[in-house]
Amino acid sequence: TLRVQTITTLINHKDKPKKSERTLAAIHRVGQAVSVAVGRFVAVGEAIATENQELKDEMGQACFEARRAGDAIAQLTDVGSAVPSQSDGRVTVFSDRTGMVKAARLLLSSVTKVLVLADRIVIKQIITSRNKVLVTLDHLERVSTFQEFVQIFSQFGNEMVEFAHLTGDRQNVRPEG
| Confidence (pLDDT) at 1 | 46
Residue 139 phi/psi, 5° resolution?
-60, -40
The domains of the chain are located at 4-172
The CATH architecture to which 4-172 belongs is: Up-down Bundle (1.20)
Contact between 160 and 133 under an 8 Å Cβ cutoff? The reply is yes
Q: Is the pTM of this model over 0.75?
A: no
10-residue mean pLDDT profile of the chain (177 residues): values are 59 59 83 93 94 93 95 85 54 66 92 95 94 96 96 96 88 56
- pLDDT for 18 equals 60
- For position 25, what pLDDT does the model report? 83
